[in-house]
A and B are shown apart, each in its own frame.
Chain A
């Protein structure tokens, strides 16, 4: 009993230390962000890797999401004679919550683990030290660019996933319900308000920031050895995914205060 309690205390202490270290890492990011020199070329390269190379995965997920959501909801809406509300319901669900959250979770798996493993292996093989010896600030070159790229690219990926998801939904309605694409999208645009779009977009920036931050933090402070790289990649995904749910809750809570739904 006592041993279990002590273990819990130790784990809690470990959690506090980790949170503190992540907070300091975040502060350092903001400090380095505004200090020249700026690594523009590396930022563009990272935007390409994070953005462009996630497109297919995000598109496929978004398409299936729209398709499945519509197929699953259709029978219930038909039962209540409310099938004409399908575009409104699907668009609000996808734009407000499902699009950002599913895209962010997919990116947490792909981007956070990728960054964690990449920086981790660079740490283990002394490439980060080599960079420092070369007179390049590795934090600025590796960390700032990746966090910034993830922050900038995730909202774009979310918009893309939303669009593809709505197209998937429209396809089902077109095939099953004889609703034209034009009519479907007219109803979608009629139903969406700024109160749906703005919080979702802001949330996406935070999601991107969290994914980049956790991936970089875990990789940059990776423990020595190849096992350390695996742990960095794995914990980056788990920690980033948990953080996404916390951010989601907080942004919904805050936007609920500012926007009337």
Chain B
């Protein structure tokens, strides 16, 4: 693919890089999903990665969490190279990263309270030793406006409520980075807007760095400080929403056409 003027090799930015991905490759059989993807997420920013369905956005985010091993490339999170970490250090690092899964991924056999307590089991030390977990659970639920759902089962929740509870679970360990995998997919426009507002509130309140994977232009418009477009397995373009939405490159225009 021809190089475009919006593609950048490395951004010289005085801010601290929370996540750095360089030349990431991942292949599933004959399907070469990521063909040299690059990205940098800076402290306190909201970076949106947009790409078509099946373009490898979720694969990239799972490589970042160490859930999928990349074929090659370099991934660094908060100064630590993911590939070189032992399981214990990786688990510790993961406690600083919240992950909102596409479908919420709430444990169906547990109540909302148990779902939120689950990450606390392994990271009690980080949360100050023998803490009262119920206090943390209530605080996380309050921050997503669903304290009343504490004793409900996931099956009793609506799609929007599931996303909110999943967000509360991602927040409970007070992470420095939050990864959102298609936060508005499968939601009606009103609920999607509520979730976007909630994501913005959380970022303002906790000062987290956010990496948002989406193909929802409205979500990107509201939340993005900066954007990366993923096309054909590479970071095709970097820029702000305004820069990219006004671009004349047909590959970029395709994302913003209604």
Contacts and interface: CB of A to CB of B under 8 A. Distances in A.
A122 B62 CA distance: 17
A133 B106 contact: no
Interface in A149-171: none
B91 A127 contact: no
Contact of B105 (A118, A129, A136, A137): A129
Contact of A130 (B92, B99, B121): B99
A40 interface: no
Contact of A135 (B67, B91, B105): B91
Contacts of B105: 125-127, 129-130
B91 A129 contact: no
A135 B123 CA distance: 8
B94 interface: yes
Given A127-B108, A129-B62, A135 B95 contact: yes
A135 B101 contact: no
A168 B123 CA distance: 53
In this complex, the interface size class of chain A, counting residues with CB under 8 Å from chain B, is 10 to 19
A133 B94 contact: yes
Nearest to B172: A134
Interface in A99-147: 118, 121-122, 125-127, 129-137
Nearest to B97: A133
Contacts of A130: 99, 101, 105-107, 169
Given A135-B91, A135-B123, A125 B118 contact: no
A132 B62 CA distance: 11
Interface in B41-67: 62, 65, 67
A135 to B, nearest CB: 4
B103 A134 contact: no
Interface residues of B, number: 24
Contacts of B91: 135
B119 interface: yes
Contacts, number: 49
B7 interface: no
A151 to B, nearest CB: 21
Nearest to B120: A134
Interface in B88-121: 91-92, 94-95, 97, 99, 101-103, 105-109, 118-119, 121
B122 interface: yes
Nearest to B126: A135
A134 B98 CA distance: 9
B95 A126 contact: no
Contacts of B109: 118
B103 A135 contact: no
Nearest to A128: B105
B53 to A, nearest CB: 14
Contact of B94 (A122, A127, A135): A135
Contacts of B103: 125-126
Given A126-B101, A126-B102, A133 B65 contact: yes
A132 B119 CA distance: 10
B140 to A, nearest CB: 13
B67 A134 contact: no
A134 B118 contact: yes
A127 B99 contact: no
A136 B94 contact: no
Interface of A: 118, 121-122, 125-127, 129-137
**Closest A-B pairs by Cβ, 5 of them:** A135-B122, A130-B105, A135-B91, A134-B119, A126-B105
19 contacts: A118-B109, A122-B107, A122-B108, A125-B103, A125-B105, A125-B108, A126-B103, A127-B105, A127-B107, A129-B67, A129-B101, A130-B99, A130-B101, A130-B169, A131-B107, A134-B94, A135-B91, A136-B122, A137-B87
Given A126-B101, A134-B122, 10 more contacts: A122-B107, A125-B105, A127-B106, A129-B62, A129-B101, A133-B67, A133-B97, A135-B94, A135-B122, A136-B122
